[in-house]
Structure 1
Amino acid sequence: MTMPVTYDLEDGIAWITVANPPVNALGHAVRAGLDAAIARFGADGGAEVAVVMGGGRLFLGGADITEFGKPVQAPSLPDVVNAIEASPKPVMAAIHGAALGGGLEVALGCHWRLAMPGTVLGLPEVALGILPGAGGTQRTPRLIGLEAAGEMIASGKPVDPEAACEMGLIDRVGEGDLRDAARRFADKLRGKPPRRTRDRPVPTGDLSDLRDRTAARTVGQVAPVTAIDAIMAATGADFDAGLAEERRLFLDLVETPQRAGLIHAFFTDRAVSKVPGLDATPRDIARIGVIGGGTMGAGIATSALLAGLNVTLVERDADSAARAAATVGANLDAAVTRGKLAPEARADPPFRTATDYNALSDTDLAIEAVFEDMAVKREVFAALDAVLRPGAILATNTSYLDVGEIAAATGRPADVIGLHFFSPAHVMKLLEIVVPDGTAHDVTATAFALAKRLGKIGVRAGVCDGFIGNRILSAYRRAADDMVLDGAHPYEVDRAIRGFGFPMGPYQVSDLAGLDIGFATRERKAPEAGPHDRRPVFADRLHHAGRLGRKAGRGYYDYAEDRRGAEDPAVTEIVEATRRDLGLTPREFDADEIVARYMAAMVNEAARVVEEGIAARPLDVDAVLLHGYGFPRWRGGPMHWADQHGLARIVADIERFAEHDPHAWQVAPLLRRLAESGGAFADLNAKDAA
């Protein structure tokens, strides 16, 4: 059996190397190995200095989060870090690739730190609902100061070696080969006494303002502000007391539902691309064609360019092509400003525009992003079928339409797939990969490979109106609209949903998307409406009044003087007039009932989506809502939230709502079965993973 930690003595230097692929996680075997290696170093008369380093592509990736929530096996990570710091002889960390979370805490326990160029150093634990629990909140402020440590830990944002060196987090940026750079630095440490971080001056200051700003930025989350409380414990003179307080707060956070939700989201991001039964080899993709240069098409082109792909964008005429090129150019300029694109790459991107489909004859994949109309899309696909080479993939960016019907316009339906990007496409991480029955497996595999290259979360979806996300959205948006018809104000609904943790309420989202989008969707689906379906007439009236949202300066909110939107009495008048005209007697809704109805509708429809196979697993639903619809990450996703909240409780809510509207509220069969059997949506994820 290969040991995850090795000890090699060369010319007075003890090389302690961690090799626990893929990320050198600090699981029990690694902790025990490090602890033993440090003890051996202390007893080794021939060893003058120790170098702790990682094998493979990085230093140490952090704690093994699969151990969270389980009894800790000794030695704990705090014990290991303390043992390193207590070494009677100098220990240095030679860092490359990444030192994140527990990995950086190990480095902080060392007496000196060297990091190679390109290394990422950070304490991102708040993203998992916890805080650095192995001395990170106590040693970091002693090295870089209270304010800098607070900003770094509460945000979870990493720093590069140059910034870390300037701050005092590390001592040197290495040059050349990692081992050579480490040897040169270690030679200078021979005979020096240990320089322990715990013995540095106690940091002074106050983080009250940072705590207030953090609380406002992370509404509803407990880890970021708790991390600041732990950092403030470092201002006490007793280092061990600070460590004890850090550990107490860490263990409190481990037991919170938010930690469980964030860990679930973490694993969901990694599991969602592992589609059951998909083992085909992807096709090679180097050249991308984009049809349509509006906001969505330009965003898709930008995303592909940022991933290093060659892009040809086709528009209907020269003026439209020029506007599309300008939009793409502005997107690339913004990417340079954000540090997402090197200036030299911006200077001459592999991008061109055209007005003829023949320009796509050598592309590997063409993505259509034209008007959401079946006839238009079928016309585009017939044209693409005539010019694309054999083996090229044809993709549609439709948000709702039947991808199989679009594929039928070609002579190669096996090469057709849906790639539903979310706007702005070069920023949003979600990509719904919509797979009709006739699509070839290697085309699906190619779509997932493309999603990974674009830096997106690819989620497999089946064919239905709205796929996963928009289909579920239609259900919980209908619940919101029904509440407004029955007496809730749109602003009350938005406030309640923001209070739950969404960054925006449904009516703020409408303003952002444009009320014309919602109106067009209602018109498209109107022929299918039954006699008991309720239409949000107030939304139609706002549309007809020209209140189309942010782009028009007013929608549900007024943007004339406040770009974030101000509540508008005129909207209240329209809503109340609508109720009078429809003969509805309004009643009051409190925030708890608003959230209960909104979430019950979301979970109920999601259960149908899973049972029908539109989503392969509940975790696919969670990924879609987390990355495309603003669901609060710290709640883990709607299916995880439902398990935590209680499925039987949700069923009881739906049955209560059905007493007044049995047409709108019917318990999904899967939800009822799970509730009655004591099961959970998580059971279905585990079953597929087994």
Structure 2
Amino acid sequence: MPCHDIAVVTLDNPPLNSLDHALRVRIVSALTAAQADPAIRAIVLTGSERAFSAGADVTEFGTPRQFAEPILRSVLEQVRHSSKPVVAAIDGVALGGGLELALACHGRVATRRAKVGLPEVTLGLIPGSGGTQRLPRLAGIDVALGLMLGGTQKTASEFVDTSLFDRVVEGHLLDAACACAAELADAGAPWPHADRIHLDPGYVSTKVSLARQRLNARQRLQPAYAALLDAVAASAGPMDEGLALERSLFLGLIGSTEARALRHQFKAERESARLPDALQVAPRPVSTVAVIGAGTMGTGIAICALDAGLDVILVEQDDAALSRGRHRVADHYAARVSAGKLDEHAAVAVQARLLPTIDWQAIGRADLVIEAVFEELSVKQDVFRRLDAVARPGAVLATNTSYLDIDTIAAVTSRPQDVLGLHFFSPANVMKLLEVIRSRDTAADVLATGMALGRTLRKSPVLCGNAFGFIGNRVYNAYRRQCEFMLEDGAWPEDVDRALTAFGVAMGPFAVADLSGLDIAWRMRLAQAATRDPRERHVPVLAQLCEQGRMGQKSGAGYYRYTDGQRAPSTDETVRGLIEQASAARGLQRHALKADEIVRRALLAMVNEAACLHADGVSSRPGDIDVVLVQGYGFPRWQGGPVFWAREQDRKQLLAELRELVAAGGRGMRLADEAALALLLD
């Protein structure tokens, strides 16, 4: 139907029509003009195929533009009280404030593929322009709670049984929206609006109470979740009262440490995925990836590549190992099908792009090769010697090492410029972090290829310099070492784990060690023993546990004892005895450590190491360190990362505490001096 008497207002702020101040001004101006024009009887708001609007411009947060009139609430009030019906025509995404704008309209038409969501909780906020009041009324309390608490996106086709959309169409969006607007105009005022939908207070109260009970421990540590539920509970009352409460809660959150930390992490993730300007070159094309090693890590990497639409050659040394790897991949996709997350035909099509083989000559077809073999230098060097002989010229050769020197691995090839590190985190098909490690000779386009691959795999790639442990393991080792010092000083493993999980880390360091296997760290320390200064403070407990066969969960005991897969609530006498012996050998009088002291010492150790590695050039940007620790090591996202945390502290006190921490650690600990700290925090 032609829109000859309907004003079409197009949101135009590429790429995603973020609702910055300039766009808000233009929307109000267009609405005012349309309402004043007697030839216009209805209004359609639309965007682009990519986005109706992705919501607020986060770069305005904390600036005067954020609260410059017209704020979004003012725009929505003009829509709400329009003398002519307003219909939102939605394609692409309608997120946050973009969805709130659509919710304030009198009608909504969307394409089936359009995606909607209110992800504010992931930024430590709640919807601040009516989302908590209108979405429950239009989509139902259950759907609204799921969408807002999860911070997820859903397609318009998933809302066909609700009142959220008047029409969901395959195509001709604008025509359908104009037809909807014309029908509303023909019907006359009052126009349909969420305000006129009333919810059952008892039902809303029950659902909100259940949602509070179901919040997990990490959600309970973030004030946005409780605030969101408070706001949604008000949707059972008068609209204006709910809007007022929502706004008050929103304003209380926007300056909170958690919200600022989450905005910092959001910005840091966007920046970390970009190479520094000096290294900005075109990547090499990659359509086929070879993965050497079909163990847990190798098959996880293969699944990532398959999910990204790449062809994968999975290489093993014998048929038995290859068969195990092939079955891991098949089991993964079978589980996806059983869970309803993947169509069976799609699963078959994905696996058709996998070539399992023991023939190394097949690697010659690959554009990029990733080895995922045993973490031992000689083993990886042998692999790269073979790769040098079979990989095609120009192919990128990547090692998945966690600690080893990339230069030493690259040196066994005739093409060190084609070698880099791609450090995946386990499970590789789940974890978002990818450390991209630059060796001495790595070509710029090879680095660009590694970063581009990370984005193709839908990961967060972070550029790292070639130094022991790169960014993540180097900081984590310093953190874990400090936690072991606290055992000698007087804490038990459960004291440390409990304090740090209360701060928000996903798992305490000793629970993590048991989960991953104590023998991994033990082997690494054995390899370093010959070069370690004997005067260096070294806690022997981990080695002693391994020598007793206590390798963690897989052996039934580590720092904790496990019965039927369950962790004991506290450490047993064997562990406590070893810890007490270590304290006595060092001449330490054990004393209980308070939770806040445990947390602060752990964070100070991370900050000190972060400052040292940044001063050494291992990280390109301070924010990269926070991305690595949050994405790969369970650091609480709403705490921003160790760099953000350090920036929140008094600089003089922080430096004094770092000096004290390093002095207590003794020989082997390097102090991040004032200059290194300034590089990190300024």
With structure 2 as the length reference, what TM-score do the two structures score? 0.94
**Aligned residue runs from structure 1 range 663-674, under 5 A:** 663=667, 666-669=670-673, 672-673=674-675
Task: Output one character per residue of 1:495-550: Cα deviation in whole Å (capped at 9) or x when no partner.
Answer: 11111110100001101111110111111111121133222222112212222122
Partner of 1:221: 222
Report what 2:195 is aligned to: 198
- Is 1:479–2:474 an aligned residue pair? no
CA deviation map 1:282-334 (0-9, x unaligned): 11101111111111111111111111111111111001100011111122333
What letter corresponds to residue 200 of structure 1 in structure 2?
Answer: I
**1:622 and 2:633 are equivalent in the alignment:** no
CA contact (8 A) 1:141 1:203 kept: no
Deviation at 1:115, TM superposition (A): 1.5
Written as runs of structure 1 = structure 2, the 5 A alignment for 1:88-487 is 88-192=83-187, 193=189, 194-204=191-201, 205-206=204-205, 207-214=208-215, 216-237=217-238, 239-276=239-276, 277-336=278-337, 341-348=342-349, 349=351, 350-487=353-490
> Which residue, out of 72, 76, 80, partners 1:77?
72
Letter in 1 for 2:318: D
Whether 1:18 aligns to 2:11 is: yes
Which whole-Å CA distance do the structure 2 matches of 1:578 and 1:279 have between them?
51
For each residue in 1:460-483, what CA deviation from the matched residue of structure 2 results, as whole angstroms up to 9, or x when unmatched? 111111111111111111101111
Counterpart secondary structure, 1:331: helix
Which digits, 9 at most, give the CA deviation of each residue in 1:218-276, with x for residues without a partner?
13111111111111222323x22221111111111011011110001111111112221
- Is 1:558 aligned to 2:561, yes or no? yes
Distance in 2 (CA, whole Å) between partners of 1:321 and 1:463 is: 31
Q: Deviations over 1:590-628 (max 9, x none)?
A: 111111111111001001111111111101111111111
Q: Which amino acid in structure 1 is aligned with residue 555 of structure 2?
A: A
Whole-Å separation in 2 of the counterparts to 1:171 and 1:37: 24
Unaligned runs of 5+ in 2: none
Please tell me the root mean square deviation across aligned C-alpha atoms, in Å.
1.9
Aligned length: 669
2:605–2:661 contact (8 Å) kept in structure 1? no
Deviation at 1:130, TM superposition (A): 0.7
SS at 2:290 equivalent = strand
How far apart, in 2, do the equivalents of 1:391 and 1:315 lie?
23
Q: CA deviation at 1:648?
A: 2.5
Output aligned runs, 1:499-578, within 5 Å. 499-561=502-564, 563=566, 566-570=569-573, 571-578=575-582
Q: CA offset at residue 95 of structure 1?
A: 0.7
Deviations 1:20-47, CA, capped at 9 Å, x for gaps = 1011000011111111222222222122
Name which of 588, 596, 600 aligns with 1:596.
600
SS at match of 1:47: coil
Corresponding residue for 1:65? 58
The whole-number CA distance in structure 2 between the counterparts of 1:430 and 1:470 is 13
**Matches of 1:147 and 1:351 in 2, distance apart?**
40
Q: What CA distance in whole angstroms lies between the structure 1 residues aligned with 2:195 and 2:681?
A: 43
Query: How far did 1:91 drift?
Result: 1.2
Separation in 2, partners of 1:288, 1:674:
39
CA deviation after TM superposition for structure 1 residue 342, in Å: 4.2
Cα distance per residue 1:4-27 (max 9 Å; x no partner): xxxxx9421111110110110000
Q: In structure 1, how many angstroms separate the alpha carbons of the residues matched to 2:343 and 2:463? A: 32
Counterpart code for 2:496: V
Mapped contact 1:596–1:653 kept (Cα < 8 A): no
Moved over 6 A (4+): none
TM-score by length of 1: 0.93
Distance 1:448 1:340 in 2: 28
Deviation at 1:117, TM superposition (A): 1.2
* 1:476 counterpart letter in structure 2: Y
Tell which deviates more after alignment, 463-472 or 205-214.
Answer: 205-214
Contact 2:49 2:91 in 1 (8 A): no
For 2:77, give the aligned amino acid: N
* SS, match of residue 548 in structure 1: coil
> Could you tell me how far apart the structure 1 residues matched to 2:635 and 2:327 are?
33
**Amino acid corresponding to residue 231 of structure 1 in structure 2:** V
Structure 1 gaps, min length 5? 1-8, 684-690
Task: Read off the aligned partner of 1:273 and give its amino acid letter.
Answer: A
Amino acid paired to 1:247? R
Contact residue 464 and residue 620 of structure 2 kept, 8 A: yes
Contact 2:113 2:157 in 1 (8 A): no
Q: Deviations over 1:392-411 (max 9, x none)?
A: 11110011111011111110
- Deviations along 1:146-196, one digit per CA (max 9) or x if unpaired, are 344333222222222122232322222112232233234334333223112
Letter in 1 for 2:102: A
Q: How has the CA–CA distance of structure 1 residues 199 and 423 changed in structure 2, closer, same or farther, with 3 Å as cutoff? A: same
